[in-house]
Structure 1
């Protein structure tokens, strides 16, 4: 549980994210509740003060042409019953003379406006008296009898202890109720977040304890639609990783098998030369070893090329650029003229002579043309024909190579595109079966595929690759 309390804990951050606003709202609500409670208490006690002023106003009488008031203490005691506050009053006649009560009780301030809450000429205001804060209610009472005409003023004031105690009690009650709600909300959020994060902790434990060699999909421990995509992404990555490892293991096994044969031949040729005292046998062995080494070097280069193309295809890191496919095809054709003349093969280029621009990788496309030409020249008999061409076909650019060799049967063409698969239609031909496999991988890297067809003009194999024009 200790790691959940760290600042980088998701649970801790979510609780802070929820808790801090709730606590802030709790404080704002407490202030608002206190203000509302104080207003409610003020209104309640103001009504009591106004009732006191009216009671005193009812006891105003005129005797001998003078205004008098009789305020027995029993009247004031009835309003002080069960109260913790002191009560003060003052009665002023129509001439402004104090006829009863506390002479120094503060008058109405000039800026105080008459209240509109009650149907009376009444004012309410806060002031201080005898070093105590008080609330005062002032009432104007009309007098028109016995020769006395005018307005008498009646003041009744009380200290604020009861008001503040009522507001404080309401505040405490509000804080307690809302505090319980905030606490329950945080507890429910903590419980819910722990429940939500539990599958993620289980998934983390599985991934930490999993053996590196285990590449099975992760269990669907995250049941929510928002997090299920994470499991899907992990499983897709594991699938790609398993495919990569499987491809590398298969490639390593095939490469080991292919390299084992020429190395065994080299060992045999070397043993034969060391065992023979005849220099002619030495020369024969050296010539054989030279041929074997050439084949091994070619095989190794093709293996490295095939591995590079497969890695690039898997990573999808394509850097396409504008390349002139005609220039690439013609240059590859010129580079194989000597090889073609050695077998008296008619090697030529047909098709577009102007620049034909496509989106691709120049090095890989040159390697594809080279493999197509090498494969065609190897299997085309002497005095045969090999033709390479570049032409437009609608919005696409087509690279074609056809020869007069034995061709490939329809049911075996797909097999011919796989690495290390040599067909038995060219007796005596040496090779590792990587030429067309490289062509297939380079075409796939360019998001296309080679087509193996029968050449209608030469009768041999026709290889066609469609590429995207720039």
Structure 2
């Protein structure tokens, strides 16, 4: 505001100076016209009588000095100050007044002056032509008027600036007071306190800030709760197999019976395989959640049918060990989805593992890929016992085992991992009754990628 105030003062000064120049130029032209009225023709020559009293009315109450000069039609000085500075070449004719007048600036007797040249037609007594009347004055009055206008503008604008700054200070002080209270509230908080912030900002324009911050705190609370629950469950699930492994190691170390040692080593190998599989799924689930929050993974177009067929081929040996008929049916390989092949491959592997694990010997497991209303369905259907409707929502919880599958190896992470991978790919997974095989039908719905990108 101070810079604007200075710029406004500068413009005000030159505007006032222009206004003073226009006002005094009118008076200057009137003086020249008064001198022109005193022109006479006598004995074939131009004469002028300019007593001091004629110009006195224009000098009264003025601090400036007035000078004049009269030239006849031949350009000879017939009255006044002969050494007045001449009009510069190219000076334009004024368009402000109905007269043949030229205004210009100069210096006379070491003082700046403003002058007007008035061309006066003469046509009497055998004299025909243009007489030239020059009237000049110093600039003290003009500058004094401009300074007065400038002082008035500075006082008015200065008062406005001071008032504006005062009001801005009071307004900002009032605005920032609740912000300071909110800042103190946040600084006093413990790092683990994720409770919503109080509504300390009374203005409608600032409330969205607190609301957005509270929504972020709510997301952090959910994230922290999920991590704490996951850490506790993972610690519990890892502690048990490690304890069993330690016991089996102690048995093998202290036993002298070779058969007992071999039995302990075999049990240790099985337990290690189970622990490795559990650890890998825990790490994958944790990495999936981290990637989903940070957006590090990039989804690319891939052929879903080929991926499902490869997953079926990788599980043939497991299916044959239980004499289970594992097969694929469905669409051609042109079904494209946007996804991450490693994660979708893990999803297929988990669905097939669960189906083979809980299907009795001699049963059937079928995987298929279908198109449906702009979506792609990946289904795995089995002839196993299925899941009761009242238990369908519970199976998504990590580490939860249903009663009819408690005797099967595993940690209860498979379906939880399936659901997280589905949500990461903007899909949904549902558990349905198998219409053909009578067991469980797991259906994953994914958005269809219309054209493969090259």
Structures share a fold, TM > 0.5? Answer: yes
1:468 alignment counterpart: 447
RMSD of the TM alignment (CA)? 4.0
Q: Distance in 1 between matches of 2:405 and 2:18?
A: 101
* Contact kept? 1:141, 1:154, Cα under 8 Å: no
TM-superposed deviation, 1:370: 1.2
Are the equivalent residues in 1 in contact too, given 2:255–2:261 (CA < 8 A)?
yes
* 1:421 and 2:400 aligned: yes
Quote the offset at 1:358 in angstroms: 2.5
Shift of 1:293: 2.6
| Whole-angstrom distance in 2 between the partners of 1:125 and 1:90 | 15
Cα separation, partners in 2 of 1:382 and 1:167, compared to 1, 3 Å: closer
Give the distance between the partners of 1:383 and 1:30, measured in 2 at CA. Answer: 104
Corresponding residue for residue 104 of structure 1: 82
Q: Distance between the aligned counterparts of 1:353 and 1:136, measured in 2? A: 100
Deviates more, 1:409-418 or 1:373-382: 373-382
User: Which residue does the alignment assign to 1:32?
Assistant: 15
Indicate which of 402, 405, 411 corresponds to 1:432. 411
Tell me the alpha carbon deviations over residues 172-231 of structure 1, each in whole angstroms, 9 at most, x when there is no partner.
333443344445445545554555555555555555554322223344556666655544
CA distance in 1, matches of 2:218, 2:373: 38
Gap change, CA 1:318 and 1:159, over 3 Å in 2: closer
Tell me which moved more, 186-195 or 354-363.
186-195
Distance 2:332 2:85 in 1: 113
Partner of 2:353: 374
- State the 1:445 CA deviation: 1.5
Distance 2:326 2:57 in 1: 129
Shift of 1:113: 7.6
| CA–CA distance in structure 2, aligned partners of residues 389 and 165 of structure 1 | 98
CA contact (8 A) 1:455 1:462 kept: yes
Mean Cα deviation higher: 315-324 or 114-123: 114-123
Superposed CA deviations along residues 11-63 of structure 1, whole A, max 9, x for unmatched, are xxxxxxx554453343223222222223223334544x257537x839x798x
Q: 1:215 to 1:95 in 2, by over 3 A?
A: closer
Matches of 1:468 and 1:395 in 2, distance apart? Answer: 7
The alpha-carbon deviation at position 97 of structure 1 amounts to 8.4
Q: Which residue of 1 aligns with 2:425?
A: 446
* TM-score, structure 2 as length reference: 0.80
Structure 2 counterpart of 1:3: none
Choose 447-456 or 260-269, whichever is displaced more.
260-269
Give the structure 1 partner of residue 196 of structure 2: 217
Q: CA deviation at 1:262?
A: 2.2
Counterparts in 2 of 1:282-301, with a 5 A limit?
282-301=261-280
Once the two structures are TM-superposed, the CA of residue 360 in structure 1 deviates from its matched residue by: 1.9
> Which residue matches 1:321?
300
1:53, 1:139 within 8 Å by CA — same for their partners in 2?
A: no
Normalising by structure 1, we get a TM-score of 0.77
Gaps of 5+ in 1: 1-17
- Structure 2: gaps (5+ residues): 450-454
Q: How many residues of Structure 1 are paired with residues of Structure 2 in the alignment?
A: 446
- Name the SS for the 1:216 alignment partner: coil
1:97 and 1:359 map into 2 onto residues whose CA distance is 100
1:364 corresponds in structure 2 to 343
Q: Secondary structure at the match of 1:428?
A: coil
Task: Name the SS for the 1:464 alignment partner.
Answer: strand
After the TM superposition, which residues 135-214 of structure 1 pair with which residues of structure 2 at under 5 Å, given as runs? Answer: 135=115, 140=120, 157-189=136-168, 192=171, 195-196=174-175, 203-204=182-183, 206-214=185-193
Structure 1 contact 52–79 (Cα < 8 Å) conserved: no
Shift of residue 347 of structure 1?
2.3
1:294-324 Cα shifts (integer Å, max 9, x gaps): 3222222222222222223333445222222
Whether the 8 Å CA contact 2:85–2:107 is kept in 1: the answer is no
Check whether the contact 1:57–1:141 (CA below 8 A) recurs between aligned residues: no
Report deviation, 1:387: 2.0
1-structure distance, mates of 2:57, 2:350: 117
> How far apart in 2 are the matches of 1:307 and 1:258?
15
Aligned to 1:53: 35
Moved more, 330-339 or 399-408: 330-339
Say whether the 8 Å CA contact 2:432–2:441 is kept in structure 1.
yes
1:399 Cα deviation from its structure 2 partner: 1.7
Following superposition, the deviation at residue 104 of structure 1 comes to 2.6
Residue equivalent to 1:339:
318
Judge conservation of contact 2:382–2:441 (CA < 8 Å) in 1.
yes
| Helix, strand or coil at the partner of 1:425 | helix
